């Protein structure tokens, strides 16, 4: 799985943009449900550069929210569905922005010398967790948080490893994330043993929202990544290669009772709906990228949009 597995769990944030620019056919990334389940948010370069879109859950009502003059990517909803945070190069440097859910009132959230990306709203909507790293590839990815007025920027992890893809728990008390070894060079410059070590080191972790009490939830020789909470906070869904190929698993919030819930050859790092009945995700199938919805109980996949 070259696509989102590498983009979200191994490589730096620039991988998605680079791949989008190099791919002739449109690509689709980072699909997620609106809190009320009526819409799906995603990014695509269907009109040129990466831009943020929404579409109704039945596949109608496609709407482009950002101009796409530069790459706008990694969108996420606020818990009330009224705002969207995203990363953009519009000021020449990858930083975070916030807009209303209809695309209006776009404003810059972060203004740092480092690269800021992968935003995630806190449940109250008063804070955004995100990744940041210096321009140099030898510097690790750390997790930060900032208030939605742009103040109070703080680092939550300590640069001991690559800590990626933060997601607040539904009660706002914890942050789920994926940890891997430090990337000392660009991925394509690594030796094969280094690549394998990096791949196999990815595990799902959780910590308090202030960065304290870090706990490893998965611990095995296979890659575990792309983790999301259920709406009640009792279940965590994640992608793992523990059976030799990628599959989707669920576990209790404390890491217990791990079970497979979807075939990873069909479903690619999904985000679960609020009612827990569906996954939404993007993937490349038969040479085309698209946004898909998967009925978990019925084990049925539906293509929502593609080009």
Cα–Cα separations (whole angstroms), residue 161 to 50, 126, 139, 157? 29, 27, 10, 9
Angstrom distance (rounded) from CA 29 to CA 14: 13
The whole-number pLDDT of residue 52 equals 98
Is the pTM above the cut of 0.95? no
| Residue 109 to residue 83: CA distance in whole angstroms | 13
What's the Cα-to-Cα distance from 307 to each of 8, 30, 221, 285, rounded to whole Å? 23, 17, 38, 11
Calpha distance 242→247 (Å, rounded): 8
The answer to whether 179 and 163 have CB atoms below 8 angstroms apart is yes
Assign 3-class secondary structure to 1-30.
Answer: CCCHHHHHHCCCCHHHHHHHHHCCCCCEEE
Q: What is the pLDDT of residue 104?
A: 97
3-state DSSP call for residue 184?
A: coil
> What parts of the chain have a pLDDT lower than 50?
1-23, 184-185
Q: Residue 179: which of 195, 196, 161 has the closest Cα?
A: 161
Q: Tell me, what's the pLDDT at 20? A: 46
**What is the C-alpha end-to-end distance of the chain, expressed in Å?**
20
CA distances from 18 to 11, 225, 252 (A): 11, 22, 36
Whole-number pLDDT of residue 2: 31
């Amino acid at each position: 799985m070259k696509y989102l597995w590498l983009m979200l769990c191994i490589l730096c944030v620039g991988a998605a943009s680079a791949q989008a620019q190099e791919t002739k056919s449109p690509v689709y990334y980072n699909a997620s449900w609106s809190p009320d389940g009526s819409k799906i948010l995603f990014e695509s370069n269907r009109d040129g550069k990466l831009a943020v879109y929404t579409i109704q859950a039945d596949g109608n009502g496609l709407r482009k929210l950002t101009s796409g003059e530069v790459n706008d990517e990694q969108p996420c909803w606020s818990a009330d569905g009224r705002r969207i945070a995203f990363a953009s190069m519009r000021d020449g440097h990858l930083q975070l922005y916030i807009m209303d859910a209809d695309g209006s009132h776009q404003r810059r959230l972060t203004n740092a010398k480092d690269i800021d990306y992968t935003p995630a709203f806190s449940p109250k909507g008063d804070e955004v967790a995100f990744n940041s790293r210096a321009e140099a590839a030898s510097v690790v990815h750390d997790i930060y948080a900032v208030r939605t007025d742009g103040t109070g920027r703080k680092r939550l992890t300590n640069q001991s490893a690559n800590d990626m893809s933060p997601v607040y728990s539904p009660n706002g008390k914890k942050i789920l994330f994926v940890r891997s070894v430090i990337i000392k060079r660009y991925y394509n410059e690594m030796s094969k043993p280094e690549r394998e070590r990096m791949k196999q080191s990815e595990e799902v972790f959780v910590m308090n929202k202030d960065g304290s009490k870090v706990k490893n939830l998965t611990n095995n020789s296979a890659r575990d990544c792309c983790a999301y909470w259920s709406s009640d906070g009792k279940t965590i869904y994640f992608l793992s290669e523990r059976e030799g190929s990628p599959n989707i698993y669920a576990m209790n919030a404390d890491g217990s009772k791990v079970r497979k819930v979807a075939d990873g050859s069909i479903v690619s790092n999904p985000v679960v709906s609020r009612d827990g009945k569906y996954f939404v995700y993007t993937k490349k199938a038969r040479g085309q990228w698209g946004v898909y919805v998967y009925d978990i109980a019925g084990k049925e996949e539906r293509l929502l949009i593609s080009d």
